[in-house]
Amino acid sequence: MTTSQRNRFVVTPMIDAMTTDPGTRRRVPAGAAVLREDVTDAIRSAVFEELAAVGFARMSIEGIARRAGVGKTAVYRRWKSKLALVLDLVSAVAVQGMPAPATGSLYGDVRAVLQLAAYALRHPVASQVIPDLMVEAARNPEIADAIKAALLDPQQGIAAVVVRDAVARGELPENSDPDRALDLIVGPLYWRLAVVRGELPKGYLDDLAASAVAALTKS
């Protein structure tokens, strides 16, 4: 199996979730041409592959169309530019969100959040795409807003639920700050996996969860 085929195999379930959710589908105006969903899915999968292979700056509609096995017209019928395409894709991913854990303890919830975050950050496509988009976000406010919606806002919502439940159980004081909790929980993991790109030693997530809980309960 080629790298392109492996990437398509990995990202297809996520693309399927985006395109089969009624909430993420666009309504087709009366009289408008109906766009084939299988072609749209192929283009979206091709965008992930192209981003991972060449980055946003070098990504082209031609390259996307070639990977998807369609003509450029099929891409332009759906999106007016590569920026519009990427922003739409990032926004669609954000709609899926990530479920908030409900383990019954602060440590369990923190450990579950770390497990999910580690899985996402070690994804073979995301590990290449996200850093590249972050660089572009520094230059383009539209990309910055889309990245915030896709990466930060859902995690802030999860952190708020984790803190709320911990407060209700008496594990955290009522004035606990969800944003600070998110920094303490995910910040070190993001640094190691996305910036340093190091491996996670055995027991790392357990130790990090314990450290985060200790820091949160001392405040």
Lowest mean pLDDT among 3-7, 74-78, 144-148, 213-217: 3-7
Global model pTM greater than 0.85 = no
The predicted structure's pLDDT at residue 176: 95
Single-letter amino acid, residue 158: I
Write down the pLDDT at residue 33: 54
pLDDT for 153-167, tens place per residue?
A: 888 999 999 999 999
- Section 78-92 average pLDDT: 83
CA dihedral 169, 171, 177, 178 (to 10 degrees): -60
Average pLDDT over residues 166-183: 95
User: Region 131-158: what's the mean pLDDT?
Assistant: 84
Average pLDDT over residues 154-181: 94
The pLDDT of 119-147, averaged and rounded, is 80
Q: Looking at residues 90-94, what average pLDDT do you find? A: 69
The pLDDT of residue 164 is 96
pLDDT at 96: 61
Percent pLDDT > 90 in the chain is 43
Q: Is the pLDDT of residue 108 over 70?
A: yes
Between the ranges 15-29, 33-47, 96-110, 170-184, where is the mean pLDDT highest? 170-184
pLDDT of 118 > 70? The answer is yes
Whether residue 8 is predicted with pLDDT greater than 50 in this model: the reply is no
- pLDDT band at residue 15, thresholds of 50, 70 and 90? very low
Q: What per-residue confidence (pLDDT) applies to 184?
A: 95
For residues 22-31, average pLDDT: 45
